[in-house]
Structure 1
Amino acid sequence: MTEILILYYSQGGAVRELAQQIARGVESVPGAQARLRTVPKISANCEATEPEIPTSGAPYATLQDLEECAGLALGSPTRFGNMAAPMKYFLDGTSGLWLKGALIGKPAAVFTSSGSMHGGNEMTLMTMMIPLLHHGMLLMGLPYSEPQLGTTKTGGTPYGASHIGGAMDDQPLSDDEKKLCLALGKRLAHTALKLQ
């Protein structure tokens, strides 16, 4: 099976829901399988603040997960137009993979969630792409052949899947947001299979 790593950090649950929808899209492609992983919260001193093994949900990611994957979907909530600190902290520890060129040529996509329509979703997606470009990954977005990009009143961009959670992050994913996540997962899986 061709494994697609879906690596995310979620605080309120919306990014986790996006990750699960992308995983559904990946697994709808014959020969592809999703590997869901997350990262722990960190303190202001960049120390993990959660147990070594999560009590529920996806296991914590390792560098081996990145090295073994055939493709990557990277997700984080929006923090002032950038990814959340726990995800940045994890990515900052990938220089050994960069030195080996372990991610060169693998397809990658990004996804995010914010509390408001203009809360920095597109900027967060763009800034999450930067470390992936340094790793030599092949970035993918959502083409306008996906009709939901033209109809969505909530999340969804050509740069990647997104969600508008509302001020309290309690709005469920819209149908358009779900369909765009499924499309992104399918696109990533198809591309990884073609590249192998």
Structure 2
Amino acid sequence: MKKKKKKISKPSLDTKKSTVESIKARRAYKRRQSRKWMIIGGVATLLSGVTWALFIPYKGPITYGACKVFLENYVLYPQSVRISTVDDYGASVRIWFTYLDSFGEFKLEPMQCFFKMTTDDDKKKYGNVSFIMEKATINRREIGPDIIERFNYSILGIVASPPDLSLPTPIPDSLEDLQVDSSKFRKPIFDK
């Protein structure tokens, strides 16, 4: 047998009760109802906040954004750049990326940007920024200091209007997750 839930009934105006008692009963009823809706609203807000937090991508620091802009300026076809891994070491950022070279081949290469805090002389030269690029390496080859010098003038604009700082999804650790069944994508030439 099911138990019936006790319903909260609205207080009725009874002629036998005094008006003070009926007012108190109405206030108690309104308090119970408002408390119930506050709890429901709090739970709904908490659930929507948790759901929102689960679906937003992780964001990297502004040094990652500066390194990403430098990479897009340096690569020949920047629309083909796909960032696979980002490692933040504090004073440096390493980006592993793939890109399409001039021969139509996709290459996977590392890029590392090294940053330093600005001094008063640097702030006079480059503007009011908190960091500048000290050096950069692509595929473990150092980029010329004149290119880095010219890029440091644009860091103020990068900080003022930052690029998309969303970090890429991590690559799976197990080899089984990395395997692709290529027979799904290939057209059979010979019939069995």
TM-score bracket relative to the smaller structure: under 0.3
Higher relative contact order (CA 8 A, sep 6+): 1
